[in-house]
Amino acid sequence: MPVFPLGAHADAGGVRFAVASTSADAVEVCLVDGPDGELTERRVALTERTFGVWHGYLPGVAPGQRYGYRVHGPYRPWDGVRANPAKILVDPYARRITGRVTDLRAARGWAADPMTGPPSPVDSLGHVPLSVVTGPDVPAPGPRPDVPWSDTVIAELHVRGYTRQHPEVPPEQRGTYLGLAHPAVIEHLTRLGVTAVELLPVAAIADEPPLLDRGRSNYWGYATLGFLAPHAGYASVPGAEIEEFRTMVAALHAAGIEVILDMVPNHTAEGGVGGTTLSYRGLDARAYYCIGGNGYDADITGTGNTLDSGSPTVVRLVCDALRHWVTAFGVDGFRIDLASVLGRPRSGGFDPNAPLLTAIAVDPVLSQAKLIAEPWDATGEGYRVGGFGVAWSEWNGRYRDAVRDFWRGHGGIGEVASRLTGSSDVYKMSGRRPWASINFVTAHDGFTLRDLVSYERKHNEANGEGNRDGTDDNRSQNFGVEGETSSPVIVSRRLAAARAMLGTLLLSTGTPMLLGGDELWRTQGGNNNAYCLDDPTSWVEWPADGPAASLTAFTARVAEIRRSSPALHRDRFYRDGEVLWWHPAGRRMGGHDWHDAGLRSLGLLRAKWLLLLHAGPDAVPATLPPGGPFTPVLDSTRADGVPVSCRSLPAGTTITLPPRSLLLLCGA
């Protein structure tokens, strides 16, 4: 009887079950039938144990069968061992998961106290999710878009939120995988020049105990229960999530758009020791989680638990899960949430060559995918921008901060100059290329672009946490009024600043990442952490006119300019002499200029393209450098970006840079 692969695998005669648990004394697979409220269960002991894996073959079982595991063994919370056969457990390798937590008391593995009390005797069947047997995987259809990194433009999207209010998507498909596959949505993404969607977590989600206590849900999805199963809540037809996810990928691929998944292999939905026992904690807590000497979960993720990236059980699970998304669904890449955790075995110091990071990077399948690290975690030790290995691109938080600071009149010119040209100071020494820098100004975590120019303080009261959650380091500006305003002058200034930041993002060297909905002038009312709000706060509106239409047109124009010239999305870092930094006074930038705290203007000439940035509140003169004549191509002060005049301007001409403006000119 083969041990691997793990999970439930059906053939013509039955199903082979295999689950890892080194601490169990016995494991039962539980076959569940009947309607909700009247569930019945048949328990079958898995008598074979090989390499720490309990396994066996059950004839007569077929795809569609609901199942779970019950684990018998020691219950010593102070030692991090928490077997409790009263709790039915989801298979970590389940490829489909159904149901949700409906009774938090039943889902907890402890009674009275999580460390000193006895195991809970309450049977969790009927109150927690279950695994579902699926048929054999079907290889993903091809071909893939295979977009080169240097040509990549990413849009970060939420499957539900991006299409929940789209007027052209059929009502039954809004907020689903099929909604994202709708031609109107794909046409919009294509118009924006998007070559890859980066989807917030779509692996099976379960709400954490604190949210369940408050009657909320984890809308963002950073609460994974099953790493191989598509989230059932994003299917338009119950139970059809696998087929619909495949349909979505195929539709995006047909349009030349890659699919990148935001994966969360740093923690699970079970929370800390006071949380739930849904799967990992009950199977083998010490093999999955970082456990301290007192039995408590080590927490470097801010979620209550941390998966141990040094555990062979975790390394195998994560790599098997990622490989499954590539081979069975055709996924093109992954953004790894809190990826620094993967480089910190047993929650220790960071090592870019740690076992899990290395296993992903050298895997023959995963090494061909786009790999993006979020290079930080919830601790200071975990902030590792630029610290990952050559296989990884990274969300560049230094880019975000520098661009935000520049356009609000803070920060030094030298910092933003480094970010504009690909952050060679961060990525070149490791042997990576400019596209390793995933440049972004806004993301799901933080203000939207509209809120970035409308609020100076977070307004997270709706989250139910007393406005204590979310960062206070927003680096934003409100132009004199906190929040929405009817002042046309202030609205105009806000839109101009937003266009300047979008232009900066798309014209910087590196890989740009847009936040889906920013182009539609989306607001969250100043909420910079709307992780638990599955309502219009988080959903994207689709206005047909007004700022949404003009900002979409502006974004599309800049994206087309970027796409049209290899010089604007180059594959290599600049060498000495390939870039001219120009002072608006009509001279090369000198050493003292880079330390001028009052300088708010900068010119960058690369190849034939002249980019002029002015973040000051007043207009200033600027003299054009050698290399002309220069033809205006983009003007961020214009709603659609089209310059008032496209008349060529000779080198040495003095022009006026409007307040908070970005101008792009094309040389001879």
Determine contact, residues 220/201, Cβ cutoff 8 Å: yes
Q: What's 337's DSSP letter?
A: T
Asked, as a colleague might, if the bond just before 345 is cis with ω within 30 of 0, I would say no
- 450-478 pLDDT per residue, tens: 999 999 999 999 999 999 999 999 999 99
- 556-582 pLDDT per residue, tens: 999 999 999 999 999 999 999 999 999
In which band, very low, low, confident or very high, does the pLDDT at 215 lie, cut at 50, 70 and 90? confident
- 243-302 pLDDT per residue, tens: 999 999 999 999 999 999 999 999 999 999 999 999 999 999 999 999 998 999 999 999
* Spatial CB neighbours of 113, under 8 Å, sequence gap ≥ 6: none
Q: φ and ψ at 87, to 5 degrees?
A: -105, 120
pTM for the whole structure: 0.97
- For residue 213, the model assigns a pLDDT of 86
CA nearest to 69, candidates 9, 11, 129, 110: 129
The continuous run of DSSP H or E covering 585 comes out as none
Range 535-543 average pLDDT = 97
Decide if pLDDT at 1 tops 80.
no
In which band, very low, low, confident or very high, does the pLDDT at 3 lie, cut at 50, 70 and 90? confident
- The rounded distance, in Å, linking the Cα atoms of 134 and 123 is 25
Phi-psi map region of 546: left, alpha, beta (phi>0 left; psi -120 to 50 alpha): left
Q: Return the bridge partners of 393, or none.
A: 372
Please give the positions annotated as active site. 337, 374
Q: List C-alpha distances in Å: 316 to 82, 311, 352, 374.
A: 22, 9, 18, 21
- 475-530 pLDDT per residue, tens: 999 999 999 999 999 999 999 999 999 999 999 999 999 999 999 999 999 999 99
- The rounded distance, in Å, linking the Cα atoms of 269 and 220 is 13
* SS3 state of residue 658: coil
Reading the block at residue 512, the tokens are 């740009």
Determine contact, residues 199/154, Cβ cutoff 8 Å: no
First-residue to last-residue Cα distance in the chain: 71
DSSP letters of 470-496? S-S------TTSSS----HHHHHHHHH
- The rounded distance, in Å, linking the Cα atoms of 641 and 660 is 14
Residue with tokens 């600043």: 497
